[in-house]
Amino acid sequence: MMDLAAIFNMAVSQFPVVINTMVILVAALIFYKLVTRALRGIVLSKAKTKKQKSNALVFLSLWKYAFVIILIIGLIFYLGGDITGLGVWAGLMTAALGWALQKPITGVAGWVMVIVKRPFEIGDRIEIQGVKGDVSEITLTHIYLKEVGGTIASEESSGRTILIPNSKLFEQDIINYTMKDDYILDQVVTAVTYESNMEKAIKICESAAKKVTRDFIEEMPQKPYIRTFFQPSGIDIKIRYYVHPAQRIRVASDITQEIFRKVSEEKDIEFAYPHTEVVLRKKGKK
């Protein structure tokens, strides 16, 4: 057995290596912080659109992972002492990762797919595996979604953050609400009776949509428009308009209130709803 003196001498002989390694790690951390702060300031200051900001954040993420990989390789080379040692270390690490980290590796492959194919970007509203939300962060292993709905039957923010493993991206359908445009099509349905003044009702619905969306109506792919359909109890007037997903519920609520207020002021327009009327007739005397 190795005596205490030999153990002590071995520890003393390795002490400079430990100190040097700690110094390297501290210096690398300081370097990383300074460079990251400078890069963040540069790339974010030049990013104006949502896509440019998403690209900037992805670039900063790539820089972080690249720095960590380079640091690990450098430490292995420093501790191994030569190229042969580096090859042995790399081979052992690859074998260990391939056996024990299958899911994380699949997650990294999913991250690469997101970076290369760009099925969605930071700020997009997406739905994966029945979970709907706005993408807030894309990491090496997970997608962070600011959930909409969830606790309520609506598309307003629930305040929760959902983490979806990147490995799931190969197994699930991905619905992107804003991949090609920042606006999606929505509608508010108003049912009026057959006896109502149809032309006036259509103008009210169209005017309400234009009034509520006036702040961004010029950015819409198409202006609000009307579609009408027969129903058993009346006619459905569907006012369709483009809206940002985050404002969908608020805009629909404001249009509904505006239509109700305007229709209530008119005498020749009535809301239709399923109901039954009983008519009593007096029997005449013979």
pLDDT in tens, 98-109: 555 566 677 778
275 is a domain residue: no
Nearest to 239 by CA among 227, 250, 231: 227
Q: What does the pLDDT look like over 245-286, one tens digit per residue?
A: 889 999 999 999 999 999 999 999 999 988 776 777 766 555
Task: Read off the CATH number of the domain in which 194 is found.
Answer: 3.30.70.100
Q: 243 lies in a domain?
A: yes
* Range in 10-24, 28-42, 172-186 the model is least confident about: 10-24
Q: Is residue 1 part of a domain?
A: no
Does 148 share its domain with 211?
A: no
The predicted model gives 121-129 an average pLDDT of 89
Rounded to 10°, the helix 50-80/83-100 angle is 120
The verdict on 160 and 93 lying in the same domain is no
Confidence of residue 205 (pLDDT cuts 50, 70, 90): very high
Provide the pLDDT for residue 215: 92
Q: What is the pLDDT of residue 211?
A: 95
Please check whether residues 190 and 168 belong to one and the same domain.
Answer: no
- Statement to judge: residues 83 and 155 lie in one domain: no
What is the rounded average pLDDT for all residues in the chain?
Answer: 81
The answer to the question of residue 237 being in a domain is: yes
| pLDDT score for 196 | 94
| Identity of the highest mean pLDDT range in 24-28, 67-71, 138-142, 145-149 | 145-149
- Based on the fold, state whether residues 199 and 244 are members of the same structural domain: yes
Query: Of 48-62, 211-225, 231-245, which gets the smallest average pLDDT?
Result: 48-62
17 and 72 together in one domain: yes
For residues 204 and 170, membership in a common domain is answered with: no
- Which of 116, 147, 176 is the last residue in one of the domains? 176
Residue that is last in its domain, among 176, 210, 238: 176
Within a domain: residue 284? no
Does one domain contain both 144 and 207?
no
| Dist. CA 43–CA 18, nearest whole Å | 37
Question: Which one-letter amino acid corresponds to residue 244?
Answer: H
Residue 135 domain flag: yes
With a CB cutoff of 8 Å and minimum separation 6, the contacts of 1 are: none
Write out pLDDT tens, residues 151-181. Answer: 887 788 888 999 998 888 888 889 998 888 8
Question: Is residue 92 pLDDT above 60, yes or no?
Answer: no
Q: Which has more confidence, 29 or 58? A: 29
| Per-residue pLDDT at 193 | 94
Are residues 204 and 257 part of one domain?
yes
Residue 191 lies in a domain: yes
Question: What is the model's pLDDT at position 99?
Answer: 52
Q: What is the mean pLDDT of residues 65-72?
A: 77
> Same domain for 163 and 208?
no
List the single range of 4-13, 104-113, 116-125 with lowest mean pLDDT. 4-13
d(CA 193, CA 200): 13
40 vs 104, more confident: 40
In a domain, 225, yes or no: yes
Domain residue limits at 136: 125-176
Q: How many domains does the chain have?
A: 3
Percent with pLDDT over 70 in the chain: 76
- Same structural domain for residues 65 and 14? yes
d(Cα 148, Cα 157) in Å, to the nearest integer? Answer: 4
Mean pLDDT of 49-66: 70
| pLDDT given for residue 1 in this prediction | 46
- Could you tell me if 172 and 192 lie in one domain? no
Residues 6+ apart with CB under 8 A from 235: 191, 192, 193, 194, 196, 198, 228, 229, 272
Q: Is the pLDDT of residue 13 over 70?
A: no
